Structure 1
Amino acid sequence: MMTTKSITLHHLMIGNERKIGIQFSPDKLIQDLLKGLPNCKWSTEYSMAYIPNTAANLAAIYSTFKGVAWINYNKFLTNRPINTNNPEVNVTYYRERNLPPGYRRCPEPYLQRLELKRYANNTVKVYVQFFEQFINMYPDQALETLNETDVRRYLQTLIHKNLSTSYINQAINAIKFYYEGVLGMPNRFYDLERPRKERHLPKVISKDEILAIITHARNLKHKCIIQLLYSAGLRRSELVQLKLEDIDSQRMLIHVKQGKGNKDRYTLLSTNVLADLRLYCEQWQPNTYLFEGMNGKPYSPVSVLKVVKSAAERAGIRTRVTPHMLRHSFATHLLEAGTDIRQIQVLLGHSSTKTTEIYTHVANHTFTAIKNPLD
């Protein structure tokens, strides 16, 4: 008979020493078994038992509770595989920057860990920026002595500047990366509160406005960029990484490789867009990437933003249009046309339909089916 008892293991830092936290619901048998573990103590702060973090003690927990209680390792074994799909990460710039006297630069082990984990260059930029901002608030303190109170004080300065929830969460991630990822102190800031995530509805524009933007593209290359963003529901980071081989004209599909979350997927290839792409390839003759910038490198995301923004302005659209707004419009228009939400989920590359369901809040058929009480 399967046991209903369970314990959950956590990484804890108590008195600057690594501990294995053992969380459980009140149970006499578990409490009795804990007494047999080496140097087991109770933490009032974390409301759980703990023992020194050693391989032998981890094995002792397994042998003690095997067959008695289910052992949940999800919060303990948190190492993720290294991402080998991101392009080469270059942190040389952060090592060689000229910084003002007295400015506390990002520690070398931090930069090395970012290289090892092969984080995307944008992530590296954000992490270094936030961590340096944090440590320069405490220029005379050893990094290992900073604690939750110091982090909260720093976060409080961000809140007083009315910075967004996303901004504050990025700052927390950058700080935790050092203590948990670099120093090997998992859950150093165990009870650090994160701000509640803001919920914003996606901004969409009409089909007529989409067509107007396409019509006002400066050239065929820009036209194809705008058309693909909308007709395939692509993120601009996915668009610039598309290669010629990813366009499957036989199956009328686009192979998106290593999109957000390092996931592959297929999305739609429009017949009209394919005709324009063939003309574009004849004229511009890209070699590797579908849209190339200088020296055959991928077209930059900033350039994609400028293409969309300038075409929208020439089309006389007052709303500030972004590449991601075209992706939102793609999903919303499909939903309004009666496409099943699970199919839209696949095309967008969402892990769950819960993410895709946000478009039901902006699709017009959601509201046209409702009779206004005044009418």
Structure 2
Amino acid sequence: MLTSEACIKQFRDDYSLRLSKTLLSVYEISIRQMISFCEKPYNEVTTRDIRSWLKHLYESGYKSSSIKTKMFGLRLFYKYCLEEGLITHNPVESIPLPKDRDKLPHYLTIEQLVQLRLLCEGDLKLRAIIEVFYATGVRVSELVNMRLEDINWSERMIRIPKGKGKKERIVLFTNECAEHLNSYLQERRDELPFVFVNRSETNAVTIWSVGYWLRPFGEKMGVHLSPHTLRHTFAAHLALKGMPLASIQALLGHDNPKNTIIYTRLHQEAQKQMYEQWM
């Protein structure tokens, strides 16, 4: 019986002239990812194992379209294995492809948020950025333009003078956020007016840099992590705590009907989770 490695190589070689190099590479990565997750040889993987892997992908924030592509790869691989007499049962055959749909905004669970905080301990700026995102729900464009003069420390409020649509609003922040933000500001040696500055302390931090700094932590956690993930986390956790949808929308600065629909669905899902916890 072929080993998993030998089987994947044989599959790749046999399909090298039938599929594009890029697509074949995507399929191979998906097959290896599934086998690694299941911790079994390809010929011992069951339908239940694959369903568990798919659940893991959904929980990790993969889009339905990405999961569908991975499933196409698995279907082709196991169809090949069956035709070659390497297996007697196709474990993917009875699993339907995921339906394309508007997914709920991806957000971190409480446990993942705790993990993220632990991973970035020691980096005062990144820790402060994470807390500001989580406490205020601001957009990354609003965070990089945030100025020291806009912070009201006594009331724990931040004025967002030029939010999306040029509309001003006020966001609130927690004591924990205040502590980490203050710790970061105390270590600064520049006199720039911005709340967050670049590594060389010569200008405001850029949108690209914030996303770049967050990415490695998401990879360590095995989830998609971006500034927008933290904005969604802010909204989702408030919904889970029972805050009315209208209040969350006001804090987010939303007036786009499409965004309203998405967060309405998120709020409904949160209400459902709260209900199930009590039943």
Per the normalisation by structure 1, the TM-score is 0.43
Distance 1:205 1:360 in 2: 18
1:192-216 Cα offsets, whole Å, 9 max, x none, are: xxxxxx8443111112211211221
| Structure 2 residue 253 is the aligned partner of structure 1 residue 349 | yes
| Structure 2 residue 98 is the aligned partner of structure 1 residue 207 | no
Whether the aligned pair in 2 keeps the contact of 1:214 and 1:223 (CA below 8 Å) is yes
Whether the aligned pair in 1 keeps the contact of 2:240 and 2:274 (CA below 8 Å) is no
Whether the aligned pair in 2 keeps the contact of 1:291 and 1:299 (CA below 8 Å) is yes
Whose strand proportion is higher, 1 or 2?
1
Offset at residue 370 of structure 1 (A): 6.4
SS in structure 2 at match of 1:338 = coil
Offset at residue 247 of structure 1 (A): 1.4
Offset at residue 362 of structure 1 (A): 3.2
Compute the RMSD of aligned alpha carbons.
2.5
AA matched with 1:211: V
Question: Compared with structure 1, are the counterparts of its residues 297 and 369 closer, same or farther at alpha carbon in structure 2 (3 Å cutoff)?
Answer: closer
1:240-292 Cα offsets, whole Å, 9 max, x none, are: 10111111111111111211111111111111111122221111134211111
List aligned pairs for 1:10-159, cutoff 5 A. none
Please, which of 270, 275, 296 is the counterpart of residue 202 of structure 2? 296
Offset at residue 359 of structure 1 (A): 2.6
Q: Which moved more, 1:357-366 or 1:292-301?
A: 357-366
- Structure 1 stretches of 5 or more lacking a match? 1-197
Distance 2:219 2:205 in 1: 21
AA matched with 1:202: P
- Structure 2 stretches of 5 or more lacking a match? 1-100
Q: Which residue of the partner structure matches residue 121 of structure 1? A: none
Q: Which residue of the partner structure matches residue 306 of structure 1? A: 212
Q: Which residue of the partner structure matches residue 241 of structure 1? A: 145
Whether the aligned pair in 1 keeps the contact of 2:242 and 2:271 (CA below 8 Å) is no
SS in structure 2 at match of 1:255 = strand
SS in structure 2 at match of 1:302 = helix
SS in structure 1 at match of 2:242 = coil
| Structure 2 residue 157 is the aligned partner of structure 1 residue 253 | yes
Distance 1:342 1:361 in 2: 13
| Structure 2 residue 245 is the aligned partner of structure 1 residue 366 | no
Whether the aligned pair in 1 keeps the contact of 2:245 and 2:264 (CA below 8 Å) is no
AA matched with 2:209: S
Whose helix proportion is higher, 1 or 2?
2
Larger radius of gyration: 1
Question: Compared with structure 1, are the counterparts of its residues 290 and 334 closer, same or farther at alpha carbon in structure 2 (3 Å cutoff)?
Answer: same
Q: Which residue of the partner structure matches residue 216 of structure 1? A: 119
Distance 1:353 1:340 in 2: 17
Whether the aligned pair in 2 keeps the contact of 1:255 and 1:264 (CA below 8 Å) is yes
SS in structure 1 at match of 2:165 = coil
Q: Which residue of the partner structure matches residue 188 of structure 2? A: 284
Distance 2:222 2:217 in 1: 12
Offset at residue 354 of structure 1 (A): 6.6
Q: Which residue of the partner structure matches residue 110 of structure 1? A: none
SS in structure 1 at match of 2:216 = helix
AA matched with 1:266: I
Q: What is the count of residue pairs matched by the alignment?
A: 174
Distance 1:240 1:301 in 2: 7
Offset at residue 342 of structure 1 (A): 1.4
1:44-101 Cα offsets, whole Å, 9 max, x none, are: xxxxxxxxxxxxxxxxxxxxxxxxxxxxxxxxxxxxxxxxxxxxxxxxxxxxxxxxxx
SS in structure 2 at match of 1:261 = helix
| Structure 2 residue 129 is the aligned partner of structure 1 residue 225 | yes
Question: Compared with structure 1, are the counterparts of its residues 370 and 210 closer, same or farther at alpha carbon in structure 2 (3 Å cutoff)?
Answer: closer
What percentage of residue pairs aligned between the two structures are identical? 29
Question: Compared with structure 1, are the counterparts of its residues 354 and 342 closer, same or farther at alpha carbon in structure 2 (3 Å cutoff)?
Answer: farther
Per the normalisation by structure 2, the TM-score is 0.56
Question: Compared with structure 1, are the counterparts of its residues 313 and 199 closer, same or farther at alpha carbon in structure 2 (3 Å cutoff)?
Answer: closer
Whether the aligned pair in 2 keeps the contact of 1:345 and 1:353 (CA below 8 Å) is no
Distance 1:295 1:275 in 2: 21
Whether the aligned pair in 2 keeps the contact of 1:243 and 1:290 (CA below 8 Å) is yes
AA matched with 1:326: L
Distance 1:370 1:337 in 2: 12
Distance 1:368 1:226 in 2: 25
